[in-house]
Structure 1
Amino acid sequence: MSDPTSMNSAVQVYKRFVPDPLRAAAANTLPDGMRRSVKRSLAQTLRRREARLHQRALRRVRRAGLGRSERRTEAPDGRIGHVHTGLTTDLARRFDHDLVTRALDSAGICWFAVPALDDRRICLAVEQRDKGAVRRVLRALLEEHTGYVTSVSPAQPDNPGEPGSHVKAWKHYAKARVIRLAWLRTEPTENLWTGDDQGIEIEFWTRNTNLPTERLIGPRPNRVQRAVPSDAPGVEIGFDRLCGYSDTDAELEPTVTLETFDVVRLDELDFPVDAVVLFEHATPWGEELLRAALRSLHQYAPWTRVIHVLARTEPPAWLSDAEGIDVVRARPGAEAQLHRLPGLAPHFLLLRPGAVVGRPIRPFDYFMPGGAARPRRGRWTAEESIAPWARAAFSATGRAVAHGYAGGPQPHRVETLARLAEKGTPLPEAPDGQRAAIVPGTHPLDGVAHHFGQLNTLADPSGEASVTLHAALPGLPVQLRRLLARRDTQQIQLTGLGTDAALAGGGTEAVVGFLHRYFPVPSPFEVPSPFEHGPEAPSAPAVSSRKAVRQR
């Protein structure tokens, strides 16, 4: 948007209020200098008016107490970021939503949430007639709590170094139908950043009075409908109904949408999903693998109902008994009997030592709406085709295996494991992936269960970003730095931490250091350490990312 106080805006106002005949007469009778003086005086009047309106909006924002953080810091790209202890991607999303909605409320602007096609971001709708007031209050908000604005539709070249409090950052606003507000947020170690991949998008809806029923028309498609009655009632709706990456806790603060948008999404699951984490190595690096698995679920899969820790050895002392976690001592071979685990949900993710979630995930990424699991296809080699698990899968189904399965978190169903147990198919002995000299292939349980599930409509294998690394790999530091810089891998499997080559060559130490940087935020399942950053977290949203689950 051009500066509303500029000469160009003054010219537009001049043309709007001075009739054409009068402008023509003035052009013939008045000197050019006098006409320029009139327009310059008008521009000064607009500038003073805009300054007054901006200060008024800024006072509203400050009275509402918006935009508080522990401190500000400089992001790697030079922009301004905000530090919050205990930050997670879900809490950052809720914090941004609360900032924008409270700012709009302070200015008396009506809004409602929209189920956008890209559910990584929360989308809000306001009427086109409120566009001027929206710009003023949001610019005041971005001045009080430094953030950034860009035009999404039509897309414009980003200006990432220009804070949203500057008039220059809004130069495309006049033509924008959708804008995005983003705040860069990080935790005290500044290893985890959120912002550009999230943010709040604001759509400007227009009124259509051509039909007997007045309607609001959206500027772009969404997951439900683009036109809604203007008098549709508003209803409260949970974040998880708009964003599949959010916590499903019903006690968390909801948002507001129109009744016509409160419909079930195609990718919305109506069943809970648990997680099972295996702890098998009573070593420092084994504990770090367990810690990383819990932190990855807390950070990137807050919708998990209960986390079951199956410990084949004494659980570490730092593991707490918080709500939402269940620690069970297990004997060798218990992994094949997970369907008998008391309290386990019919659908669950299985994380073996070294398996972590690398980016925000949805339940839909691992399970179909009908309940079918979605395991990840892996490499298929000559060794895999003659592996014991491939023969066991053929014995259980009578059908040959055509592909392997990747490591990392594994989606499983209790029904699949129970039906396999009824068939009595013996499973080959599984190698210890953390003491194997090379990257292990498909795990026998995963291979047999997923192949059986695929042939019985209980699983639908797919392909997603997945990486498996061995701690003795010569180029391991480069691979770890790449994962840390990009953070675009959905699931990661780290192996070989207990091998002599990894321990002697520094690979184990490199992996542990990588996990500390990749998952710097402690989970609620760890006993607080006096050495953790910040004894309190006043700047994060006053909500918990875990649900109150009754302990067994």
Structure 2
Amino acid sequence: MEPPKARTEVTEPYGYFSDLTAAHLLHEGEIRPAYTLAEPTPLEVWRRNLEIITAILTAAGVDSFAVPGFSLTRPVLAVSAADRQRVLTALAMLCDSTGGRLATPEPAFRESELGLNRPQWARRADMGDVPMVRASWLWTDAARELLFGADYGCDVEFWNPTGDGHLLAPRHNRISPVVRDDGARVTAPGRLFTALAAGPRAGLPRVATRPEFSRPGLDLVDFPIDVVYTWVDGADHSWLRRRAEADQSPYHAESANAARFHDREELRFSLRSLHLNAPWVRHVYLVTDRQRPHWLDADAPGITVVDHRDLFDDPDCLPTFNSHAIETQLHRIEGLSEHFLYFNDDMFVGKPVDPRLFFEPSGIARFFPAQTFIGMDPVSTADSPPNAAFKNDRALLERAFGRTISRMMKHVPYPLQRSVLAEVEKEFAEDLARTAQSAFRNVTDVSTVTLQHYYAFFTGRAVLGEAQDAYVELGMPDVHERLELLLERRDRDTFCINDAGLPEDLADERSDLMRRFLESYFPVPSPWEKSLAL
């Protein structure tokens, strides 16, 4: 049955809703229309809400200008406090006609960068002299798995004349709480108003603002950031033959464990998470061994498949089945940006994130040590491959800097710099060359990723970062409850779903569980999927 159409009118801004279908959904105890978008992403909702409110204010004869607020997902418009009643009337009529909601954060005048991320809501029939209001609609995808509501609404601030030719904001923003009252109307790139549009793929149009807000501030990340994945399909017959023909003499059973190479199509959903929540990524590089996912559109703009043969200078290092070996070569990817994120295919971006989560605007990288510590005993064959590589990294750093390390990295995307990786390769040439030649993980391996993080830190090119992350193992007895909580809250910057500890008799059941979770969390295909892919 076709869902009912939302009530619309011919003229703008009601026309923004005229080509949309609205399914009536229960939300926070109310039946409300949720408008289905063809491109249901946080950035598209940001753009659409800004354009709708701008249009209604223009129709009401109210001058407005965009303000660089602290929120990634909520656009901010400013108007003169003298226009408060006209604005409230126009917004109330629009929301009543289209199923939107008009509310005010409480107390709005106290909101800062911290407060804006934790608003307290109060619904009022009488807006009085409130310093700002928030208009929002429910936007959703075709499957109705995603729902964008008040956290994505558009804020309208009422700025007061100061008596000396200026307007004063009711709260802080990222540039200035004061602008000239008679300031010229100018346009500026949309990326100045939400970090989601920081990259070249975002495609956000220019927005109307004031001269004070038309130039980048010190918090803008204006350099390109790429993403690199390493991926393998462990069921591919050609790959299995190459693996069987390799010298299988790993020191540890984990090094040759077939489960490490099993493909559950995590990569498909990890790419969806990038498209949805990190649209500022410039380009994606997928490093593989003469493979590519069946669902991947490798000709789509913004992605490049890189074969091991194009990465390793020494052909004698191939074939390799050792992620430590592959990681020694990542900085050789042709065209790769100086700053990039290295993803394992089981890592996902869980909500809209700012590139500053990973890099300072100055270019300094962040890194995310885990809370667990690695023992100080010398490396031995009793160590798992990750622990052995970490201990080898520690020995190299102690020799180079006289400092010791004890914490591995969280399962969070790794912010890396090509120049630092090249320097690490030069500084520890023998150790990286030996690792590159190991077809399977070896007790003598180093972890180039961990080594680069701490090397960059000791040389002033990285700082400790903080991320709201989650790590889930498919072998956990409460994995179902953990995934349900992730889906319900959607509050993690990043999360990882690892197959560690997964018993063979539960492999199919847990794989199906993970697939259902990922399809619900990331229902929107990325631009890099074939259109007919299931």
Could you state the TM-score of these two structures normalised by the residue count of structure 1? 0.76
Q: Is the 8 A contact 2:72 2:354 kept in 1?
A: no
For 2:142 and 2:78, how far apart are their aligned partners in 1? 33
Structure 1 position 136 matched with structure 2 position 86: no
Greater shift in the superposed pair: 282-291 or 176-185: 282-291
SS at 1:517's partner residue? helix
Give the conservation status (yes or no) of the 8 Å contact 2:37–2:139: yes
Q: How many residues are matched? A: 453
Which residue, 346, 351, 363 being the options, matches 2:343? Answer: 351
Which piece of structure 1 moves more, 515-524 or 169-178?
169-178
The CA deviation at 1:279 is 1.4
- CA deviations on 1:171-229 (whole Å, 9 max, x unpaired) are 241121111112121112222221222211110012232x3xx1112112222222211
Q: Which runs of 5+ in 2 are unaligned?
A: 1-7, 109-118, 237-261, 310-319, 379-386
**In 1, Cα distance between the equivalents of 2:179 and 2:507?**
65
- Report how far residue 516 of structure 1 moved: 1.0
2 CA distance for matches of 1:283 and 1:291? Answer: 17
Q: Which moved more, 1:316-325 or 1:419-428?
A: 419-428
One-letter amino acid matched to 1:518 = Y
Amino acid at match of 1:88: T
Task: Map 1:406-417; keep pairs closer than 5 Å.
Answer: 406-417=410-421
Residue matched to 2:180: 229
**1:501-540 correspondence runs (5 A):** 501=504, 503-504=506-507, 506-529=509-532
Deviation larger for 290-299 or 64-73: 64-73
CA shift, 1:237, in A, is 1.6
Q: Does 1:174 align with 2:178?
A: no
Q: 1:458 to 1:347 in 2, by over 3 A?
A: same
- Give the equivalent residue in structure 1 for 2:216: 264
* C-alpha separation in 2, matches of 1:127 and 1:60: 28
Cα separation, partners in 2 of 1:502 and 1:184, compared to 1, 3 Å: farther
- How far apart, CA to CA, are the structure 1 residues paired with 2:71 and 2:416? 27
Q: Distance in 2 between matches of 1:481 and 1:66?
A: 35
Partners of 1:66 and 1:144 within 8 A in 2: no
Seen in structure 2, the aligned counterparts of structure 1 residues 107 and 443 have a Cα distance that, compared at 3 Å, is farther
Percent of pairs identical after alignment? 27
Q: 1:196 aligns with which of 135, 150, 168?
A: 150
Kindly report which structure 2 residues correspond to 1:108-507, keeping only aligned pairs within 5 A, or say none: 108-154=61-107, 158=121, 171-209=125-163, 211=164, 214-246=165-197, 248-249=199-200, 251-283=203-235, 286=263, 288-320=265-297, 321-330=299-308, 332=320, 333-383=325-375, 387-388=387-388, 389-396=390-397, 397-398=400-401, 399-423=403-427, 424=429, 426=431, 444-496=447-499, 499-501=502-504, 503-504=506-507, 506-507=509-510
Q: Which amino acid aligns with 1:248?
A: G
| C-alpha distance 151-404 of structure 1, shift in aligned 2 (>3 A) | same
Please say if residues 64 and 79 of structure 2, whose CA atoms lie closer than 8 Å, have aligned partners that are also in contact. yes
Q: In structure 1, what is the Cα distance between the partners aligned to 2:10 and 2:530?
A: 41
Letter aligned with residue 341 of structure 1:
I
Task: Give the greater-gyration-radius structure (CA).
Answer: 1
3-state SS of 1:379 partner: strand
> CA offset at residue 460 of structure 1?
0.8
Q: 1:85 to 1:128 in 2, by over 3 A?
A: same
- State whether residues 280 and 313 of structure 1, in contact with CA within 8 Å, keep that contact through their aligned partners in structure 2: no
The answer on whether the counterparts of 1:297 and 1:357 sit within 8 Å (CA) in structure 2 is yes
Distance 1:408 1:353, change over 3 A: same
| Amino acid paired to 1:261 | F
- 1: CA distance, partners of 2:12 / 2:507: 57
Cα distance in 2, alignment partners of residues 136 and 114 from structure 1: 22
Runs of at least 5 residues in structure 1 that lack an aligned partner in the other structure:
1-57, 160-168, 437-441, 532-552
Structure 1 residue aligned with 2:15: 65
1:318, CA displacement in angstroms?
1.7
User: Which amino acid in structure 2 is aligned with residue 393 of structure 1?
Assistant: R
Distance 1:519 1:384 in 2: 41
RMSD value, Cα: 2.8
Q: Distance in 1 between matches of 2:199 and 2:368?
A: 25
Kindly provide the amino acid, as one letter, of the partner of residue 141 in structure 1. L
Residue 144 of structure 1, CA deviation: 3.0
Q: 2:28 aligns to what?
A: 77
Deviation at 1:282, TM superposition (A): 4.2
Q: Aligned equivalents of 1:104 and 1:530: distance in 2?
A: 42
Counterpart residue type for residue 523 of structure 2: P
Instruction: Work out whether residues 122 and 243 of structure 1, in 8 Å CA contact, stay in contact via their aligned partners in 2.
Output: yes
Q: Which residue identity does 1:92 align to in structure 2?
A: V
Structure 1 pair 117–392 and aligned structure 2 pair: CA distance change class (3 A): closer
Post-superposition offset of 1:121: 1.6
Using the alignment, how far apart are the partners of 1:149 and 1:121 within structure 2? 14
Indicate if the aligned counterparts of 2:288 and 2:305 stay in contact, CA closer than 8 A. yes
> Structure 1's 315 and 248: CA in aligned 2 closer, same or farther, altered over 3 A?
same
Indicate conservation of the 8 Å contact 2:62/2:83, yes or no.
yes
The superposition leaves residues 451-471 of structure 1 with CA deviations (integer Å, 9 ceiling, x where unpaired) of 111101121122211212111
Given the superposition, is the C-alpha separation of residues 104 and 283 from structure 1 closer, same or farther in structure 2, using an over 3 Å criterion? farther
Is 283-292 or 333-342 further displaced after alignment? 283-292
What per-residue deviation string (whole Å, max 9, x for no partner) do you get for residues 141-194 of structure 1? 2133211121125359746xxxxxxxxx65241121111112121112222221
SS in 1 for 2:352: coil
| Inter-partner Cα distance in structure 1 for 2:271 and 2:501 | 20
Shift of 1:525: 0.3
Letter in 2 for 1:294: L
